[in-house]
Amino acid sequence: MSNGIKVKKGLDLRLEGAVADPLHVSVKPVAVVAVTPDDFQGIVPKPDVREGDDVLAGQPLFHDKRFTQIKFVSPAAGKVKAVVRGERRKILRIEVEVAGEKTLTHSTEKVLTDATAAKQLLLESGLWGMMTQRPYAIVPNPEAEIRDIFVTGFDSAPLAENRTEFTDSERRSMQAAVKLLGLLTKGKVYVSRRDTQDFPELAGAETIVVDGPHPAGNCGTLIAALKPVNKGETVLCLDLPTLIRIGATATTGVLPTETVVALTGSEVIEPKLVRTLMGASIADLLKGEVKTDGCHHRIISGNVLTGVATPPDGYLHFPYTQVTVIPEGDDVDEFMGWASVSPSKMSTSPSFPGHFLGKKLFRPDARLQGGRRAMIMSGEYDRVMPMDILPEYLIKAILARDIDRMEQLGIYEVAPEDFALAEYSDTSKLELQKIVREGLDYLRKELE
């Protein structure tokens, strides 16, 4: 069954550095991989390995302190290089030196017919931690009753690449994953896609064709258009790579830890797709790929709106699908600074000439471009947010820690990524994603 959604509010950023040939995928071997607990919101990590231990691909590296059955696994076989800790011995990441191809195999008996076996496979294989739940945008509570499941079949973020064709093996994996996920809910499994994607007919799922600008690919947009989340309800969210991994694990017993990463951005010599391992070393991924033009670079694991700034010796962060490299901007001496009306400046405001250059691609840097100030109630957020909420008032309620008001204004529907475009276009320079994350964490702490 297939339905359609037209997203009218939003914005596609016109950036230099898109992948030129999306059909060609080169291989990038890496020497070290790492898993970062902070990529998985809502958990308290407890290590299962020590430095020097030998591990298999798919073997647990750490688990959640509260729900010990939620495991997070190694992307590769090898030796644990380091358990890196920060203040108060917080685990920052666990690094594994890649050596060999030995993998952990799981039992797949009854996983496509029994809900308990299906959930157990997801928990033990690390796939449960690759999904999120609404409300709170955290790793799902394994004890919660799942109302519906939403799969985002494409990524509409800046410079993101999406699959348009699938192999027979991937199609079988997608169907097996839908069958497994259907056991976890009494509701529906929704799968979004673009009209250009050659998706298979997935029995047991409702396919939604989504048209429109970013954030058309966000799970929050899909949920808001189909069936919003109310207080007391829980839904699952996952992306297409995770769906394929679930199906492959359910049919073979082995978790696929390879991933296809888009190397994008104006500072990449030749933007391309590369096949590597989840959590790959950034140094290995970008070796020979970045321009030596003398300017400082900002390396982002992810896209420019929601990605994580990563040092050159850092690692690929979950969801492991994109690396963007742009100018840092701290070495730029620009006449008039943020007030410059140069046509090369990207802006949503008609005060700048670049706003009217519909086909021009821009090369932005990481500068804030202006100072922080009091919130300006101008309707800026509404223009880029297709969700049926009052975002400015919700932000105010979060800042005031007014739980009743937060609930009335739709806090249970949102995730930080839903405010990424609003944060970009905000003349007040508020860190909206950080504010929403802190608000969700506060709400969960008070109510659970």
Strands (E), 58-147: 60-64, 71-73, 78-85, 91-98, 132-134
pLDDT tens column, 19-69: 999 999 999 999 999 999 999 999 999 999 999 999 999 999 999 999 999
**% of residues, the chain, pLDDT over 70:** 94
- Exposed/middle/buried for 113, CB within 10 Å: 0-12, 13-18, 19+? exposed
Taking CA 327 as the corner, what is the angle to CA 322 and CA 331, rounded to the nearest 5 degrees?
A: 155
Candidates 407, 401, 389; CA nearest to 442 is 401
The more confident residue out of 370 and 396 is: 396
CA distance readout (Å), 359 to 13, 47, 64, 188, 248:
11, 50, 47, 40, 41
Residue entry with tokens 């594994």: 96
* 346 has a pLDDT exceeding 90: no
Candidates 124, 144, 123, 126; CA nearest to 135 is 144
Band of pLDDT at residue 336, cut at 50, 70 and 90: low
> Which token pair is 39?
């990529």
Candidates 277, 273, 286; CA nearest to 320 is 277
* 349 has a pLDDT exceeding 80: no
SS3 383: helix
Residue entry with tokens 């070796």: 287
CA distance readout (Å), 209 to 80, 180, 199, 216, 371:
43, 22, 10, 10, 40
Residue 210: beta bridge partners?
Answer: 5
* 113 has a pLDDT exceeding 70: yes
Contact 102, 77 (CB under 8 A): yes
Amino acid at site 277: L
pLDDT for 2 equals 62
Band of pLDDT at residue 331, cut at 50, 70 and 90: confident
* Beta strand pairing call for 322-327 and 297-301: antiparallel
pLDDT for 297 equals 96
> Which token pair is 257?
């830890």
pLDDT for 51 equals 97
pLDDT tens column, 243-253: 999 999 999 99
**% of residues, the chain, pLDDT over 90:** 85
pLDDT for 49 equals 98
CA distance readout (Å), 262 to 35, 156, 291, 298, 316:
19, 13, 16, 16, 12
3-state helix, strand, coil in the chain (%, to 5): 25, 25, 50
* 338 has a pLDDT exceeding 80: no
CA distance readout (Å), 176 to 162, 186, 256:
21, 17, 15
Residue 204 region by backbone torsions, left for phi larger than 0, else alpha for psi between -120 and 50, else beta: left
Helix (H) or strand (E) holding 364: none
Band of pLDDT at residue 103, cut at 50, 70 and 90: very high
Contact 395, 435 (CB under 8 A): yes
Question: Which residue blocks in 112-227 are alpha helix, DSSP H?
Answer: 115-125, 168-182, 219-226
**Residue 354 gets which letter from DSSP?**
G
Candidates 159, 93, 152; CA nearest to 323 is 159
Side-by-side strand order, sheet with 71-73: 45-47, 60-64, 71-73
Mean pLDDT, the chain, whole residue set:
94
Please list, in sequence order, all residues whose beta carbon lies within 8 angstroms of the beta carbon of residue 293, skipping any fewer than 6 positions away.
267
Taking CA 164 as the corner, what is the angle to CA 39 and CA 285, rounded to the nearest 5 degrees?
A: 45
- Count each helix (H run) and each strand (E run) in the chain, helices first: 10, 19
What is the reported pTM? 0.95
